[in-house]
Structure 1
Amino acid sequence: MSMKLYGASGSCALVALWAVEQAGADYELVSLNLGAGDQRHPAFLALNPHGRVPALETDGAVITELNAILVYLAARFPGAGILPMNDVLLLGRTMELLCWFSSTVHVHVAQCFRGERFTDDADVKDKLKQSGKVRLAAALAELNETIGQRGAYLNGDGFSAVDIFSIVVWRWVQRLEIDCSAFGRWTGKVQHDMARPDVVRALEREANAAPPSWVAAARAS
């Protein structure tokens, strides 16, 4: 059965996109423009009331939250290498890192880009952005120290979803113009990983994704 993946250029939905590509799944990619507010359109809120990407339509249901989508895809396509499903300890440690990216690093980024999630006060938003960048830099220092400690990749000798999430973080950091000179190991790893054919393919797929039907109709009118 075909899947439909809702994502947005520059978002963490790239991780789910890489996963469905790795799985060789039959899927359709729909790209929302978060800056234009596509995620707040009633048609999308009917799928995900939280108005966030990624969201995956599959088997007559909708799965939201990146880590939940990754677990579903890894279980459905166990040979795709999305997560290390054949090593329970490695799987647990990989999920540990994914959760840290989601619950800590991504929150600092949201302070910078999505201050409306936390407050409606413009002054508070500005302070959130400032503190978010400081906390993000501290998290990057921690991430930089882990490079090489667990193998060739972030967790072991196999490339997996957590390494793609690291690339997503890199893109956010570039947009925030954070100085990465102190994070040389992480920077080198990301640059190496971004040259992988599977990563290049996912990035190209993201860049060429079509907008949702309700946006396409509005642009045509």
Structure 2
Amino acid sequence: MKLFYYPGACSIIPHIALEELDAPYSAVMVDFNAGEQLSAEYRAINPLLQVPALACDEGTITQTPAILSYLALRYPDSGLIESSSPWQFAKMQSFHMFIATTIHILFRQISMPHEFVADESAQASLKARVPSMSNHYFQFIEDQLKAGGPWVHGDKFSASDIYLYAFASYLKIGDRGDLKRFEAISAHRQRVLARPAVKRVLLKETEAGGDIPMSLFN
């Protein structure tokens, strides 16, 4: 398998998952600063011109929840995603889609407001609303961790913990919510950071460079 990624982007989630699985893979940086995502070569890999993309024997998969589901079914004994129980699989999918379709979209209103509205004053209003909505959404996760922790789905580490770790780290930017409000999520980040697979990926992505500060994830 071959993972196409950009350092510090949400592609860090499948990158960590692959490292946790100890699966045979290679990681290829798509240099957004150099415009490599716009090249004909990458357009053939992912016409959306985004990362992550995972090239497999069968073809290429895009979108983080889909990549995580593929890895779960390909490595059913890993426990990274519980694929043997329809209920547990659905619970994990629900959590992943909540972040992908709610929190991730909310954060894009900060980083790319022009994709939502053209007027600059409307963009400013859109961005101003993000922190309070972010705190609102993360409070649901905070309450879940406090009630069931130490991991997202109880006492077993899973792909959901990688997903939460990445997006909780983005709160450290300071313009899209306040990590200090969430004691349980902050403690959860430290538990994820302590994992050897996470440390290996952080080192690889830091050494690769990019314009997203990898200090966000430390």
TM-score, normalised with respect to structure 2: 0.86
Three-state SS of the structure 1 residue aligned to 2:147 is: coil
TM-fit CA distance, 1:68: 0.8
Three-state SS of the structure 2 residue aligned to 1:149 is: helix
TM-fit CA distance, 1:90: 1.6
Report what 1:181 is aligned to. 180
Which of 160, 165, 168 aligns to 2:158? It is: 160
C-alpha distance in 2 between matches for 1:133 and 1:32: 30
Which deviates the most, 102-111 or 171-180? 171-180
Q: Specify which structure has the higher proportion of helix.
A: 2
Q: Does 2:190 match 1:191?
A: yes
Q: Does 2:25 match 1:27?
A: yes
Given that 2:37 and 2:43 are in contact with CA atoms closer than 8 Å, whether structure 1 keeps it comes out as: yes
TM-fit CA distance, 1:55: 0.5
Q: Which runs of 5+ in 2 are unaligned?
A: 211-218
Which deviates the most, 146-155 or 49-58? 146-155
Given that 2:168 and 2:179 are in contact with CA atoms closer than 8 Å, whether structure 1 keeps it comes out as: no
C-alpha distance in 2 between matches for 1:74 and 1:163: 14
Q: 1:17-166, aligned counterparts within 5 Å?
A: 17-34=15-32, 37-166=35-164
TM-fit CA distance, 1:54: 0.6
Q: Supply the AA of the counterpart residue of 1:170.
A: A
C-alpha distance in 2 between matches for 1:34 and 1:113: 15
TM-score, normalised with respect to structure 1: 0.85
C-alpha distance in 1 between matches for 2:110 and 2:34: 17
Q: Supply the AA of the counterpart residue of 1:182.
A: R
Given that 1:30 and 1:210 are in contact with CA atoms closer than 8 Å, whether structure 2 keeps it comes out as: no
TM-fit CA distance, 1:8: 1.3
C-alpha distance in 2 between matches for 1:57 and 1:210: 22
Report what 1:218 is aligned to. none
Given that 1:29 and 1:210 are in contact with CA atoms closer than 8 Å, whether structure 2 keeps it comes out as: no
Given that 1:44 and 1:51 are in contact with CA atoms closer than 8 Å, whether structure 2 keeps it comes out as: yes
Which deviates the most, 103-112 or 21-30? 21-30
Three-state SS of the structure 1 residue aligned to 2:26 is: strand
CA distance change for structure 1 residues 141 and 92 in 2, over 3 Å: closer, same or farther? Answer: same
CA distance change for structure 1 residues 118 and 57 in 2, over 3 Å: closer, same or farther? Answer: same
CA distance change for structure 1 residues 37 and 133 in 2, over 3 Å: closer, same or farther? Answer: farther
Given that 1:5 and 1:54 are in contact with CA atoms closer than 8 Å, whether structure 2 keeps it comes out as: yes
TM-fit CA distance, 1:124: 2.7
Given that 1:74 and 1:83 are in contact with CA atoms closer than 8 Å, whether structure 2 keeps it comes out as: yes
Which deviates the most, 92-101 or 40-49? 40-49
Identity of aligned residues (%): 28
Q: Supply the AA of the counterpart residue of 1:43.
A: E
Given that 1:154 and 1:162 are in contact with CA atoms closer than 8 Å, whether structure 2 keeps it comes out as: yes
TM-fit CA distance, 1:107: 0.8
CA distance change for structure 1 residues 55 and 163 in 2, over 3 Å: closer, same or farther? Answer: same
Q: Which runs of 5+ in 1 are unaligned?
A: 212-221
Deviation per residue, 1:47-75 (Å, 9 max, x gap): 21112111011115111111111111111
Given that 2:15 and 2:201 are in contact with CA atoms closer than 8 Å, whether structure 1 keeps it comes out as: yes
